[in-house]
Amino acid sequence: MAFAISRKHTQSLPQSTLPGCLSCPINNLPVEMLEMMFIWWTEVDEDAPWIGSSVCQYWRTIILTCPLAWSRIHVKFRPPPLEMEKDEAWCIEEGELENFGRDNPRGKPRPFLLWIERAGTTDLTLSVTITLDAPSLCIVLVELTSALADKMARVRRFELYSDTSYLAFEVMSRLWHTAPSLRYLTVVCSEMYWLRDMHDNFAMWDVLKHAPLLETLDCRGCYPIARNNNYTPHVRRLIIANISAPLRGIIAILRTCGSLEFLQLSSLYGDTLENIDPVDLPRLEVICMERTTMECCERFFPCIVTSNLRQLSLRCDKLWPLFSEEYRMVLHGVKSYDAFANFGNVFVAFAARSPRLESLYLSSVMLPDRYILSALRHLPDLVELHLNNLLVGVPAFRGLIPMSGSPSPRRLYIGIPVCPRLARLTLSNCDLLPGDALVEFIRARAESDLTTSVKYLDVDECERIEEEHVSLLRDIAGLEIRFVPCERENVTSDDDDDSEVYDSE
């Protein structure tokens, strides 16, 4: 295996090569350490074993006797770049070291069968790239199937990069008669094709049945259609990105994934969800939603129950609010807390069903102070709070001040402190929050016996928070501060405070 060689291999090298090889300081390291270096190299560079074995005879001996260095196999079926069409030295291998300094060793096709042979009997990570314009595509599929037919039982990680979901399904259906060791599956399809073959989005569910131990399913530019609810995969991490997948299809998938622990979704669109029973995901700990809309979240959140959720990241599309009905209502004089009442109430209800949340990230979410504070009141275990491009202002932060802080007639709630364990706060592009309110909040938390003092504060380009405010906090023991002043043109002023004002009740 990986560590089965020792210094005795140097005895088989030509004596003329030993002085030059071993005189290099890195070669004085133990062989086991060099092996680990080569294995880590393969994690970040697909050409690593081929380039490393061409450096010197000493490295070559070590790499050729280390199967793990060859266990990450990359196969690419696509037209060669123009500069390689007339390149006769298409693979640097087997003693062509004299050309190593002149020819670019990267991006060359590699002998696939030789790669598998050098991997020995180790578990494999297989990466396949195939495009519609690959030469002799049908022949390529047959050759690939023949070469990998008896190797899929050893594949633990499979990565497939294709132009279309139809082509991806064609490759997988040919290979996967059985994949008993597969743990991680990544399928990436080009976004430019998804509209064309959306009607026959590939039946990945049928393929997944042959991988009973699959733990991570990462789909980008495609998504599986759960055709058979009787099939329950053991997927713990699910990623669906770069495709406008309907919410109804996502809910159907989640309904079969009772063991799910991590969920990442992006570019969803909010189709109508009526008469759908909520999906209970008792093990789900992380939800990341990116490039989404508040309308989509408003329909999605009521459909899931996540009592064990620990981390929520919600990143809405920055341009979406400008075209939303709620934004037009605000422009016509409707108060923001009325215009966004529907989403605000849904978000508060979701927070109430997720009381164990420890980390909350909100970006470009049109959520007024009233609803932010109401949601935070349900999160006693919250430790990290990240707010980016939000309408958060004075009312929310005064509501976070515990009773032991300095008295304020405008404090929203009296009694149990809100988020008593909050220790890390990040504010970015929050232009409505004045520096005085932030200073009051941080100092009150530091002086209170009911709450944990803030240990880390990150302020990034918030217009109304300046260096003079931050300097007032630098004397607080244990507080680490990162401050980036705002260099954008002023969009608000002290005389134009759009933050909400509440009665003391």
- Of the candidate ranges 127-136, 287-296, 463-472, 476-485, the one whose mean pLDDT is the lowest: 127-136
Asked whether residue 469 is domain-assigned, the answer is yes
pLDDT at residue 8, rounded to an integer: 41
The number of folded domains in the chain is 2
In a domain, 44, yes or no: yes
- 502 within a domain of the structure (yes/no): no
Give the pLDDT band (50/70/90) at residue 3: very low
pLDDT tens for each residue of 39-88: 999 888 888 888 888 888 888 888 888 899 899 988 887 776 554 444 44
Residue 446, domain member (yes or no): yes
Q: Is residue 503 part of a domain?
A: no
> Which amino acid, residue 126?
L
Are 297 and 321 contacting, i.e. CB atoms less than 8 angstroms apart? no
Q: Which domain holds residue 46?
A: 27-70
| Per-residue pLDDT tens digits for 264-306 | 998 776 566 667 788 999 999 999 998 888 888 888 899 899 9
Last residue of a domain, one of 12, 39, 70: 70
Q: What is the pLDDT of residue 440?
A: 92
Measured CA distances, 147 to 67, 131, 140, 141, 150 (Å): 19, 19, 10, 10, 8
Residue 8 is assigned to a structural domain of this protein: no
Evaluate whether residue 182 is within a structural domain: no
Cβ neighbors of 16 (< 8 A, separation 6 or more) are: none
Q: Which pLDDT does position 269 carry in this prediction?
A: 67
Residue 395 within any structural domain of the chain: yes
Do 293 and 320 form a contact (C-beta atoms < 8 A)? yes
The residue from 14, 35, 70 where one domain ends is: 70
pTM: 0.80
Q: Which residues contact residue 34 at a Cβ distance below 8 angstroms, ignoring those fewer than 6 apart?
A: 26, 27, 59, 62
By mean pLDDT, which of 260-269, 345-354, 386-395, 408-417 is the weakest?
408-417
What's residue 347's pLDDT? 94
Strands (E), 326-475: 359-363, 384-388, 424-428, 456-460
